[in-house]
Structure 1
Amino acid sequence: MDIRHFDRIGNGGLDFTELGFGTAPLGNLYRAISDEEAHLVLEAAWETGSRYYDTAPLYGLGLSETRLNRFLRGKKRDDYVLSTKVGRLLKVCAPEERTGIGKFFDTPSRREVYDYTYDGVMRSFEASLERLGVDRIDILFAHDLDIFNHGSQEALQEKLDELMRSGYYALLSLRDQGVIKAFGAGVNEWQPCQWMAERGDFDLFLLAGRYTLLEQEALETFLPLCEQRGIGIVLGGPYNSGILATGAVPGAYYNYDTAPQEILNRVARIEAVCQRHGVRLIEAALRFPLKHPQVVSVIPGGQSVEQVKSNRQILDARIPAGLWAELKAEELMRQDAPTE
């Protein structure tokens, strides 16, 4: 698997495999799996060549990190890149009060408390080190600074201000001391990422679903800014929650909800172009983000061994240049989207 070396500030940097592994599904997202199943999935990801693993306290309310603990104990620390998130502290609570009921299943009884302060970042970092059982974490992402999670622009702005006023300096200190290699934010929207990039010295953003075969609005201003400042992008959600994997089928998911008709129509047109070039939609969707020079890794995740192995096969598919050209000609892709 190809490696993308990233070293923005001259501290030795990090080597990302083009295909990373997002561990939200291992936190029993949408359905519960056993510890053994989770371990087999992680081993399968390793066997495919993936060496970048992303997790977060939110994923299974600590479960994803503790499952990674078992897996990583058998690996040499220099053989992989590891990122987790800050911005949420997990508090013990009654089972009926736990975060993520109906989304995460069979998890510890914990409730999230948003905290983007200096102390909150440090406490979250220390707790993740314990759950993961490692002696260092390579990247810390401030998690879910977006309207999707905070509900309104006003509420989001309050949290962004808290981060830049306080927690940002914890991240900066950890990086400057060499405790972590890089920091950034893991977000569902590109606009807050641009706001942060304009105000701080961020290295990487984990952007979920906002630069895909279906959506390229981030090319307007955000991705050019990343190019100017050498900021890397980890691309999560390359299938826009499912529709770029399943195609425009009834009930297809887009952005965690049932896809509206206009999205179904657009995806159907994209898929028709793919078919004319002998390419599966899912293959074009996984490869497309990696065409952008700032994207260091794509992390589709997976909850079964079969899904993980399939991701590698999908990544290895050959995509003819004519496919991208026709998508642009049909105005199904932005003209300025990198495709070389």
Structure 2
Amino acid sequence: MNPNSTRKLSAKSGLDVSILGFGGGPIGDQYKQHDNDVAIETVVAAHEAGLTLFDTSPHYGSGLSEHRTGAALRKKPRDSYILSTKVGRYLVPPTEDEPLDRDGFTGGLEFNRKFDYTRDGTLRSIDQSMARLGISSIDCLIIHDCDIWTHGTREAYEFYFKQAMEGSYKVLHELRDQGVIKAIGVGINEVDICMEFANAGEFDFFLLAGRYTLLEQGALGAFLPLCVERGMGIMLGGPYNSGILATGAVEGARYNYELAPPEIMDRVSRIEAVCARHNVPLAAAALQFPLGHEAVKCIIPGAISPDEVQQNMALMAHEIPAELWAELRTEGLLNEQAPVPG
């Protein structure tokens, strides 16, 4: 597949995005701290390679990902890239009562994150993002992490869902109507919660992380057909299920941000064996598979060096024979109903 080929992000937005985009989580010091210059050079390399979609968030390194993304992109022609970031958190300095909390990141800027999906919290988040990016226009804004997995209980999620639909959604809807932004979305890890948002508002796209991959196709049943019906695109994050589909079933492999359990290690080993029989890197199959579905418009893996950008380009371009997908189905490793590339 040509990584520079484009698809419409949604029926109404008019945005053409490269099928391979750039996910900004890793350059926010997600699992380890990275040299600042190399991180910025990585974003530049992605732009120079022809990628047009760059996704970031205040959450990634308490604004560090946005800071680095902006440092790289603000020198580039504004019409040469599509910029996506998120609302739902704003940043505050640590205090004696609330000391610095990295919240799952190894490094980052010296700020704490505050969940707030109200109108005021949303506008504050957008203002802060523009200041960190140093870019005065954002193409896509995403309501971020409003789900049970993030907030811990159904009750807590329902509180924030109501807040998000009465606050963040109305703000983003107004900005889209005014032409200030081009598309609005929701970014979460849970298919059922995607359905709830889809039925509650008019969204252009969903950033779905890890729920439609070579390893698991839970979104295939009701959600992806709904997206096709309504012209909502999928910006797919976590194509490697946070690591294991890139590394393979090696010791210490990560699955959905945790160490992979034995049953996942076994399944990935079997998928990897099929790929090996067809001389296809596991990561190439993982990166290309979701694009077989017409709802999926782009894949946004991260990268932490210019070399990794080139590796992602090569993996997307790697030729995959139809026999590989057929064997995965025969071995019971791929949903029979899942469309495949080509």
Normalising by structure 2, we get a TM-score of 0.95
Aligned-partner Cα distance in 2 for 1:26–1:250? 24
Aligned-partner Cα distance in 1 for 2:9–2:86? 19
> 1:71, CA displacement in angstroms?
1.1
Q: Which amino acid aligns with 2:105?
A: K
Match of 1:45 in 2: 46
Please give the residue correspondences for 1:227-242 in structure 2 after superposition, counting only pairs within 5 Å. Answer: 227-242=228-243
> 1:102, CA displacement in angstroms?
5.8
> 1:214, CA displacement in angstroms?
0.4
Q: Which amino acid aligns with 2:288?
A: R
Q: Is the 8 A contact 1:240 1:255 kept in 2?
A: yes
Match of 1:183 in 2: 184
Does residue 100 of structure 2 align to residue 98 of structure 1?
A: yes
Aligned-partner Cα distance in 1 for 2:168–2:158? 14
Does residue 6 of structure 2 align to residue 3 of structure 1?
A: yes
> 1:109, CA displacement in angstroms?
2.2
Q: Which amino acid aligns with 2:169?
A: Y
Q: Give SS of 1:198's match.
A: helix
Q: Is the 8 A contact 2:303 2:309 kept in 1?
A: yes
Aligned-partner Cα distance in 2 for 1:243–1:126? 36
Match of 1:267 in 2: 268
Please give the residue correspondences for 1:179-258 in structure 2 after superposition, counting only pairs within 5 Å. Answer: 179-258=180-259
Q: Which amino acid aligns with 1:27?
A: G
Match of 2:23 in 1: 22
Deviations 1:130-175 (A, max 9, x none): 1111121000001111222111122111111111122211111011
Aligned-partner Cα distance in 2 for 1:164–1:248? 40
Match of 1:165 in 2: 166
Match of 2:325 in 1: 324
Aligned-partner Cα distance in 1 for 2:104–2:221? 36
> 1:86, CA displacement in angstroms?
0.1
Aligned-partner Cα distance in 2 for 1:219–1:269? 22
Aligned-partner Cα distance in 1 for 2:27–2:115? 22
Percent identity, please. 50
Q: Which amino acid aligns with 2:333?
A: L
Q: Give SS of 2:32's match.
A: coil
Q: Is the 8 A contact 1:55 1:65 kept in 2?
A: yes
Q: Which amino acid aligns with 2:308?
A: Q
Q: CA RMSD in A?
A: 1.5
Q: Is the 8 A contact 1:94 1:109 kept in 2?
A: no
> 1:252, CA displacement in angstroms?
1.2
Deviations 1:39-75 (A, max 9, x none): 1111221232211100001111111111122211220
Q: Is the 8 A contact 2:122 2:167 kept in 1?
A: no
Q: Which amino acid aligns with 2:44?
A: E
Return 5+ residue gaps in structure 1 as ranges: none
Q: Give SS of 1:158's match.
A: helix
Aligned-partner Cα distance in 2 for 1:116–1:266? 38
> 1:118, CA displacement in angstroms?
1.6
Aligned-partner Cα distance in 2 for 1:331–1:155? 37
Aligned-partner Cα distance in 2 for 1:37–1:210? 30
> 1:7, CA displacement in angstroms?
4.3
Aligned-partner Cα distance in 2 for 1:309–1:132? 24
Match of 1:142 in 2: 143
Please list every run of at least 4 consecutive aligned residues from structure 1 whose deviation after the TM superposition is greater than 3 angstroms: none
Aligned-partner Cα distance in 2 for 1:247–1:206? 24
Higher relative contact order (CA 8 A, sep 6+): 2
Match of 1:297 in 2: 298
Match of 2:279 in 1: 278
Q: Is the 8 A contact 2:189 2:210 kept in 1?
A: yes
Aligned-partner Cα distance in 2 for 1:179–1:27? 26
> 1:98, CA displacement in angstroms?
2.1
Deviates more, 1:280-289 or 1:152-161: 152-161
Q: Which amino acid aligns with 1:100?
A: R
Q: Give SS of 2:200's match.
A: coil
Aligned-partner Cα distance in 2 for 1:214–1:114? 31
Normalising by structure 1, we get a TM-score of 0.95
